[in-house]
Every structure is written in structure tokens, then in C-alpha cells.
Structure 1
Amino acid sequence: MFDLTFLGIGYASLAMLAAMILLLLTGMQLAFSTCLVAMVFAIGWFGVDVLPLITSRIYGFVGSYVFLAVPMFVLMAALLDRSGIAKDLFDAMRVVGRKVRGGVAVQTLLVAVVLASMSGVIGGETVLLGILALPQMLRLGYNRKLAIGTTCAGGALGTMLPPSIVLIIYGLTASVSIGDLFKASFVPALLLALLYMIYVLVLCRLNPSYAPLPTDEELAMEEPPKFFKALFFPLLSVLVVLGSIYSGIASVTEASALGVVGIGISAWIRGELSAEMLKESAIATMRTCGMIIWIGIGATALVGVYNLMGGIDFVEQLILSLSGGDVMTTILIMMVILLVLGMFLDWVGVALLTMPIFVPIITGLGLDPIWFGVVFCLNMQVSFLSPPFGPAAFYLKSVAPKDISLGEIFSALLPFIGLQIVVLTLVILFPSLALWWK
């Protein structure tokens, strides 16, 4: 039996962080790195008798009823990826978008908002837009960076717009109402999307060559879209999922199941539902949810051990001493920590590792944890696009033309990262943007 208590909580915190970094550098997955560090420090600090407490904490996380919403929304996204709903939606709006300078880029963002409101998973949305919108804009002569940035930033809107998986995981971790989080994130998410659209329109107005307008002959050759088929199913899905939540008819978990049924029926009516489609969607869902659950298990174990060691109180005192007790400085320190972690860790790991520490500090300062959930999601928005490991850029790279490099994608995203930071700052300075419904 080894004893680690001689380190004290300060050096133990550094040792845990160093051990995690070293394990991650060896290529070990985050879930197993956190599990291993948690087990070593649990035994070294308390002995083997503490392990049942850690397993009960893990069971409490995995067995949460609300957690059922995660696989349901992921399955919605998987079914949506494999149906033609998104393609028909994009094609229908293309006719309107082509008549306005920069209209196809704005249309891409509008489609992104609808897709985000249907699934809440950024990977599928970014890939879908990369397949549908990016080649279209490049073919029409749009500026490459504008086309790339719009596609990638639009695909990441699923982080903020309900039913965001990020909000669900935050709600589970912070023990706050997920329905309230959905209400709180709605206005900031739409504000961010609106800023994207204004930026695109202004940029194309100042630089007409960025978005050439089609000739009358080209417009005449466009096939008239089937608006009913294209718009009915997406809008119905959004209405069923978000409408049932906001009206109080269904809980988030129940609404997620309704969404899956709605997308399934829509695909069946369109003649696209098949056994192969269901099999592929189920496999994709299990892979994604398996990743989330394993990261959750590791992070929950690590935070549980660290809490028993007195680490959460230590971090709280450290942050408050660094900020001098000033509320705004405390929030800025948290934002910097989240931004740095978001560059290197998956958002699930960031949420599960930091929120059990940060949320008690926020509530202790008299701030609203619902508002902080929106701030956290906006912060994760930035991390999704930021180099060196912004996942949205890698998702887009997987389907982009081969001559588009990761460096070019990250360069194209810089203006949109700036807009994200603007909205993040506004929500921090004006909490009523998130708490408008209270």
C-alpha cells in the first residue's frame, strides 16, 4: 500500500494534472487516463475502502433518467444524416439565396439553424453542410475563405441551439433544469447566427467579387423546388421537439423520443427508411454515446476522488484569491481555463471535469447557474473552431475538397471566432440575454 497524503492538496493537484497530461501524451484515451489517475489517487489517499463510494457516484451519473435524452438526440442526428431531408431543405432555399449577394452563404447558416434545432449534434451538421453547401458555394465562385468559414461555423451552431447535447451534459453535471437551459440559450444562439449573417452580407456588399450573382439565364435554368416536401418535415420536427419542451407538454427525455419517432416517420413517408439505414444509424449512435459515457465515467470518478481529497475547496480558494474576490475577474479566470482546456480536450471531458468545481463557485457568488451554462456553451463554441484541435475544422476537412488544408480552414474561421467572443462577452456583461424568460 502506498501513501500519497504527504503531498498535500496543492502538490497532489499538480501531480494529478501532470499524470493526466503524461498519459494523454502516450496516446491513452481521456476516459481511461482519468479513470487510472482517479484509482491511483483514491487508493493512495484513502485506501481501497473508498472504491465503493466512487462506483456509486459513477452509477448515479450513468443511471440518470435525463441521460436517456443523449442517445435519442444522437439517433435523431444519425437518421437525419442518412435521409434526404437536409438536402431537400438546402435545395429549396437555394433558389431564394441565389438572388441576393451572399445569399447562398446566408442560406447555409439558416439551414444550419434548422438542422441544429432538429438534432443538437455538431459533427453530423458540419459534415452535412460540408457535403451540401461548400461545393455549391465554391462552384458559384464564392470566396474560398468565406465559403469555408460559413460552412464550418454554421455547422457548430448545434452547440448552442436547443436541443444541444452540450446543454444536456451541463445540466446533468450542474444539476439544473435542462428545459430552463434550452430557454436560456435560445436568444444568445440566434444572436450569434444573426451576427454571422450580418457579417456575411456586409462583407459581400463591400467586396462584390466574394459572392457573384447569377445571370438571368442561369436563374431560368434552375428547377423549381418542392417547398412543401422540403420544409414540412424539418419544421414539423423542430415544432414537435422544441414546442413540446417549451410548452411543458413533454420533458426533454420524452421530447427526444418524439423527435426520433418524427424523423423516422418522415424518412418512411419519403421512402428512405430501410433496415440498412436503421442499422447504420444505430451503430453510429452507439459509438458516439459509448464515447460520452466512458468519458463521463472517468471524469466522474476523478472529480469524485478530488472532491473527497478537498480539491474542490482548494481550487475555489485559489481562484477567489487570484481574483481578489472580484466577480468579473473570477469569471474571466474561468473563461481562460475553459478556453485553454477546450483547445486540447473533448467538450464532454471539459464539462465533466470543470463544472463540479466551477458551478459551486458561481452559486456561491450569487450568480445563476443557468446563465453560466449558456456562458459555458458559448465558450465551447469557440473551442470547436479554435486551433490546434478544433473538432469542427477536422469534421469539415474530412469531406472538403483535397486542395483545402486544415490551415486554410482555421484561417477562414478567425472572423467567426471573433464574433463568438463578441457574443460571449455580451452574455457575460448582460446576463438578461440568457435570462430573458425569468
Structure 2
Amino acid sequence: MFDLSNMGIGYGSLAMLVSMILLLLTGMQLAFVTGMVALVFALGWFGVDALPLISSRLYSFVGSYVFLAVPMFVLMAALLDRSGIAKDLFDAMKIMGRKLRGGVAVQTLVVAVILASMSGVIGGETVLLGILALPQMLRLGYNRKLAIGTTCAGGALGTMLPPSIVLIIYGLTASVSIGDLFKAAFVPALILALCYMIYILVLCRIYPEYAPLPTDEELAKDRHVNFKKALLFPFLSVATVLGSIYTGVASVTEASALGVVGIIISAYIRGELNFTMLKESAQATMSTCGMIIWIGIGATALVGVYNLMGGIDFVEDLILNLSGGSVMGTVFIMMLILFVLGMFLDWVGVALLTMPIFVPIIINLGLNPIWFGVVFCLNMQVSFLSPPFGPAAFYLKSVAPKDISLGEIFQSLFPFICIQIVVLTLVIFFPSLSLWWQ
């Protein structure tokens, strides 16, 4: 049996990283890469005696009761995607913002906030806005880059706004209250959305041609929308899910189940519920959750092995030495690492690979892990939009008009990425923005 322990933790860490990069370059899925590297290093470093420890760690991850909230919220997003609730909501909000220059773009963000508060899943929301909002803004004569950037950045708000799946996964890996994370993320998410809106309004004020106002004839065409039908169900859903969590009536897991029931009842009342809708929603949920679970299993095994190797102490010493012992320097090095990883890896992998290592360091520095969870989510916001592999851009490209290239989408996102970095910096330097409720 080969013995890897002789190389020491420094070279062992480097060998582990290089092995992962080489396997990822072959096209192998992240879940299998992390699982294979974990198995090789577990056997090579400790022998077969380490395997029961790793398997117990995997069981604690997949057996967590809170983890049930993930498929429930994904199912909510899938049902929402296949109902007419989002379309009616957008049509109603569009009318309310038509008389304001840039109003349709602003209302697109308002709809994005509402949809994010209903599901917390980024992919479905970006696709929905790409289908509903982007063609409308382009038809109304909005500047292409403004319309594209607004749609894509708005869709990514699901990363931050409760009930965000990112926050749930962070809470599981960091062993902190998910309810507290939801409270902490709410204000920073709204600040980010408001900054987007202010940017749009100021830009349209400077360049009026970016957002033409509609004619009276165009306004008259939109007056047939039933506002009661369009607004009732979304606001009831948001009130049920978030209201039950914030008031303490239900846990996050119970609230997610209430949300699914609420969407199903809403679809039934609207006459949209059918077997095909339920079947397609269930299939989409199984596909998404299967990906999350397998990445989680591989990443949990890898981090477990690395912890046994002494990896946490090694990384902590390395980061503290690079930062010169500065607390803020340490945080910014972590942010840089997360940003780089987010450019190439799925957020689930980033969270499960780094948070078990970073969170103990944050706690040892006397910082609040709830605050760090919000900072982590803001960092992932940036990675969702950043080239070369920003997933939000690819989601939008899948439904955007054919003449809109991926390069144009990334160019359109640059001002919104700058806004995200500004808000991220604010929350880092002013933790009270996320800890206001304590």
C-alpha cells in the first residue's frame, strides 16, 4: 500500500489541489473528482481504518433534517416555472412602472425580488425573466445592454434573498441557524436590489434614449390585466414562507413544505394544475437535487479527509501568514479565494469545499459566522455573473434572442458586477448591515 503521509501536509495539500485540477480538466464531474481524490488520500494517508470516519461524516450530511428544505424550495421553483403566476405578476408590475423612465427595468427587479422570495433558486428565475422581461424591454426600445444586464442580475438575486438555497447549504456546512441567516441576508439583499434600481434610474435620467416612454396607445393595450389575480398569489406565497419563518411559527423545513402546498393550491385555483405539470416539476427537482447531493457527498468526503490530515490548521496558518495577522486582511484573502473558485466551480462545490475550513478560522478570529454567511453569498453573487463561467449568463443565453451573444451578456453585466462588489465591501466593513436584528 502506498504511503502519502510522508510528503507532509504542505505537499499533500498541493498534490490534492493538482489532482483535482487535472481530473476536472478531463471533463469529469466535480462530484466524482472530489470523491475519487478523497478515497485515494484517505487510503494513502491513513489506510482503510479512516473509511468508517468518512462514511459517518457523509451520513450526517445527507441525513440532516434541514436538508429536506432544499428539494422543497427547488420544487417550488419548478412549479412556479410551469404556472402562469410569474407571467401575470410581471404583466401587472410592468403596467405600474410604464410611466416612469426606466420603470419597466425597475419593475423587472421588483418582480425578481418577489420571485426570489418565493423560491430561492437562481436558474429558474433567470430563465423566467429572460422569457418574460427581456423581450418586453427590447420591444419597448430599451438599450440592449441595460435590458440584458437588468434581466441577468435580477435573476441572480435568488442567491441572496431568503429562502436562498445558498444560505441553506452554508447553514448546513457551517452548523449555524438557517433562520438567522435568512434574517441577516434580507437587508443586504434589498440594498443590492435598491442599488441596481438607483443605477438604472440615474442612467436613464442621463440617457433618456435608453428607456423610451410608452405612447398612450401602448398604455391602453395593457389595461386588461387583473391585478387582484396577478398579485394575490405571489404575495400570499411570500407571506406564508417568510412570515412563518420570521415569526417562529414554522422551521425552515416546515415553511418550505408550506410553500409547495401554497403554490399547488394557487395553481389549482388558477386552473393550471395538471399531472404533466406535477410530473415535469418532480423530474426537474430530482435532477437539480441529485446534482447538489452528489457534489455534497464528494465534497464532504474530501473535506473530512483533509481535516484528518491537519488541513484546517495548515490553511489557517497559511492565510494568517499571508495577511500578516490582520483580521480584515484574512477576510479579503478568503474573498479572493472564493471569487477565483467561483469563476470555475459550481457554488455548491465552493461552499462545501471551503466553508468547513474557513468558518472555524472566522470563529477563531472572533468574527460572526452568520455575517460571514451573508458575505459568502454576496461573493457568490459576483461569481454568478462573472466570466468565463458565470452561470446566470449561460441561463439567460439559453432563452435570449439568437442575436444576443454570450460576450454581449458578459459586457452588459459589468456595471452590475461593480455594484455587487461595492455592496460586498460595505457589508464587510459594516457588519451591522447584516446583524441589525441582534
Answer whether TM exceeds 0.5 for this pair.
yes
Amino acid at match of 1:9: I
- 1:223 deviates by 3.1
Please, what is the CA RMSD of the aligned residues? Answer: 0.5
Q: Which residue of 2 aligns with 1:305?
A: 305
Normalising by structure 2, we get a TM-score of 1.00
Q: Which residue of 2 aligns with 1:322?
A: 322
Matched, 1:89 2:89: yes
Q: Which residue of 2 aligns with 1:339?
A: 339
Matched, 1:127 2:132: no
1:219-244 deviations in Å (ceiling 9; x for gaps): 22333310100000000000000000
Normalising by structure 1, we get a TM-score of 1.00
Q: Which residue of 2 aligns with 1:176?
A: 176
Task: Specify every segment of 5 or more residues in structure 2 that has no aligned partner in the other structure, as ranges.
Answer: none
Between the aligned partners of 2:274 and 2:96, the Cα distance in structure 1 is: 32
Matched, 1:217 2:217: yes
Between the aligned partners of 1:303 and 1:182, the Cα distance in structure 2 is: 26
3-state SS of paired residue (2:200):
helix
1:19-52 deviations in Å (ceiling 9; x for gaps): 0000000000000000000000000000011111
Matched, 1:233 2:261: no
3-state SS of paired residue (2:389):
coil
Q: Which residue of 2 aligns with 1:99?
A: 99
Q: Which residue of 2 aligns with 1:152?
A: 152
Amino acid at match of 1:422: V
Q: Which residue of 2 aligns with 1:282?
A: 282
The worse-fitting range, judged by mean Cα deviation, of 88-97 and 339-348 is 88-97
Between the aligned partners of 2:80 and 2:337, the Cα distance in structure 1 is: 35
Between the aligned partners of 1:35 and 1:218, the Cα distance in structure 2 is: 57
Between the aligned partners of 1:304 and 1:222, the Cα distance in structure 2 is: 57
1:361-399 deviations in Å (ceiling 9; x for gaps): 000000000000000000000000000000000000000
1:201-256 deviations in Å (ceiling 9; x for gaps): 00001000000011122222333310100000000000000000000000000000
Amino acid at match of 2:80: L
Between the aligned partners of 2:69 and 2:40, the Cα distance in structure 1 is: 33
Between the aligned partners of 1:164 and 1:65, the Cα distance in structure 2 is: 17
Count of residues in correspondence between the two structures: 438
Between the aligned partners of 1:169 and 1:293, the Cα distance in structure 2 is: 11
Q: What is the percentage of aligned positions where both structures have the same residue? A: 85
Q: Which residue of 2 aligns with 1:391?
A: 391
- 1:319 deviates by 0.5
Between the aligned partners of 2:314 and 2:214, the Cα distance in structure 1 is: 62
Between the aligned partners of 2:256 and 2:143, the Cα distance in structure 1 is: 38
3-state SS of paired residue (2:350):
helix
Q: Which residue of 2 aligns with 1:67?
A: 67
Amino acid at match of 1:425: T
Q: Which residue of 2 aligns with 1:194?
A: 194
Matched, 1:242 2:242: yes
- 1:61 deviates by 0.2
Matched, 1:371 2:371: yes
1:56-81 deviations in Å (ceiling 9; x for gaps): 10010000000000000000000000
Amino acid at match of 1:408: E
Q: Which residue of 2 aligns with 1:17?
A: 17
3-state SS of paired residue (1:260):
helix
Between the aligned partners of 1:63 and 1:220, the Cα distance in structure 2 is: 55
Between the aligned partners of 1:388 and 1:267, the Cα distance in structure 2 is: 38
1:339-382 deviations in Å (ceiling 9; x for gaps): 00000000000000000010000000000000000000000000
Amino acid at match of 1:31: A
Q: Which residue of 1 aligns with 2:78?
A: 78
Amino acid at match of 2:282: A
Between the aligned partners of 2:182 and 2:3, the Cα distance in structure 1 is: 45
Q: Which residue of 2 aligns with 1:435?
A: 435
Between the aligned partners of 1:92 and 1:412, the Cα distance in structure 2 is: 26
Between the aligned partners of 1:288 and 1:232, the Cα distance in structure 2 is: 29
- 1:314 deviates by 0.4
Between the aligned partners of 1:378 and 1:221, the Cα distance in structure 2 is: 39
1:389-435 deviations in Å (ceiling 9; x for gaps): 00000000000000000000000000000000000000000000000
Runs of 4+ displaced beyond 4 Å: none
Between the aligned partners of 1:240 and 1:247, the Cα distance in structure 2 is: 10
Q: Which residue of 1 aligns with 2:292?
A: 292
Task: Specify every segment of 5 or more residues in structure 1 that has no aligned partner in the other structure, as ranges.
Answer: none
3-state SS of paired residue (2:400):
coil
